[in-house]
Amino acid sequence: MGAFLQLPVNNEKYGRILHITDTHLFANDNDKLLGINSNASFLSVIEEIDKRHEQYDLIVATGDFVQDGSKKAYQRFASQIKKFAIPCVWLAGNHDNFIYMQEVFNHYRLVENKVVLLGSKWLIVLLNSQVVGQAYGFLAPAELLFLKNTLERHSDRTALVFLHHNPITSSCSWLDQHILKNSDELEQIIENYPMIKGLGWGHIHQQQDLKWHNCTVFSTPSTCVQFKPNCVQFQLSNQDAPGWREITLNADGTLKTEVYRISNNRFLPDLSKNGY
């Protein structure tokens, strides 16, 4: 199930997490996803994060790193993330080649950690919802058992859980065909383990901020193209810029989270596209 990681925090009163997702990178710098140069938009996100001069304890990256399936695209992601000089944990999305991810990320020392103990108060758990060859998500029985066992083992901590696929509807019918198919089983765990105070995902290229059984749940925008909210059919958004999310974990078990987007957005999608 991967290695175990324990991290101090810069201030014991809280921990800070940078959440990045759905970069969809290419080996070729000229390639585009739905009209957007995703390599360039990712670099723009990294540059704006860097300019903020914020301190983070951990980066969580939740899948769909590459669009073309190439090792070089994974290398692009890892080489940029390493510039932050803080630990990065990651999980696979439906577009990812897990073998390539492991090989490249291990080379860059982005070790496969599925459990992080952050400071003395928080537990971070990463779940694999990837179904190879399918766009939808599913948490295998072993993955659900792993989550429950980890929560039991660290029952004195407050938990924040990440996966790739959305476990609740996105308000886009076409996207929700590719939802987490057994979200009811995850929901039961959230109900039975009130220590889970946060749940985050990517996949839908949109921002959501909701409550689910007294748990703060959220999706984070892609670093490239954004999907238009509240649509029955596939539609791209030319209003929402590429972005990221920052999460503050407090010692009292509460969390605060906010989405940021690049300014002066020059990454506009090709609205004539009807799928990808």
Q: How many CA atoms lie less than 13 Å away from 218 in the CB half-sphere?
A: 21
pTM check: above 0.75:
yes
DSSP count for the chain of H helices, then E strands = 5, 12
* Domain spans in the chain, listed from the N-terminal domain onward: 3-261
**pLDDT (tens digit, 9 = 90+) per residue, 46-104?**
999 999 999 999 999 999 999 999 999 999 999 999 999 999 999 999 999 999 999 99
Phi, then psi, of 216 in degrees rounded to 5: -75, 120
The confidence score (pLDDT) of residue 7 equals: 83
The residue type of 123 is: L
Helix ranges (DSSP H) in the chain: 38-52, 71-81, 98-107, 141-153, 183-192
Residue 119 backbone zone (phi > 0: left; psi -120 to 50: alpha; other: beta): left
**Contact in structure between 47 and 155 (CB atoms under 8 Å):** no
- pLDDT per residue, tens digit, the chain (276 aa), is 445 688 887 766 689 999 999 999 999 999 999 999 999 999 999 999 999 999 999 999 999 999 999 999 999 999 999 999 999 999 999 999 999 999 999 999 998 899 999 999 999 999 999 999 999 999 999 999 999 999 999 999 999 999 999 999 998 999 999 999 999 999 999 999 999 999 999 999 999 999 999 899 999 999 999 999 999 999 999 989 999 999 999 999 999 999 999 998 999 888 888 877
Tell me the torsion sign for CA atoms 212, 217, 222, 226.
positive
Q: What is the largest CA-CA distance in the chain?
A: 52
The superfamily in CATH containing domain 3-261 is: Metallo-dependent phosphatases (3.60.21.10)
Rounded Cα distance, 119 and 110, in Å: 20
Nearest 5 degrees, angle CA 270-CA 36-CA 223?
125
Rounded Cα distance, 129 and 36, in Å: 27
Rounded Cα distance, 101 and 243, in Å: 22
Residue 72 structure tokens: 């070089």
Rounded Cα distance, 45 and 246, in Å: 13
Pick from 39, 34, 23: nearest CA to 270 = 34
The confidence score (pLDDT) of residue 270 equals: 83
Task: Give the number of residues written for the chain.
Answer: 276
With b for 16 or more beta-carbon neighbours within 10 A and e for fewer, the 202-211 pattern comes to bbbbbbbeee
**Contact in structure between 158 and 123 (CB atoms under 8 Å):** yes
Helix axes 71-81, 38-52, angle to 10 degrees: 10
Contacting residues for 101 by C-beta, under 8 A, at least 6 apart: 65, 74, 90, 92
**pLDDT (tens digit, 9 = 90+) per residue, 247-266?**
999 999 999 999 999 998 99
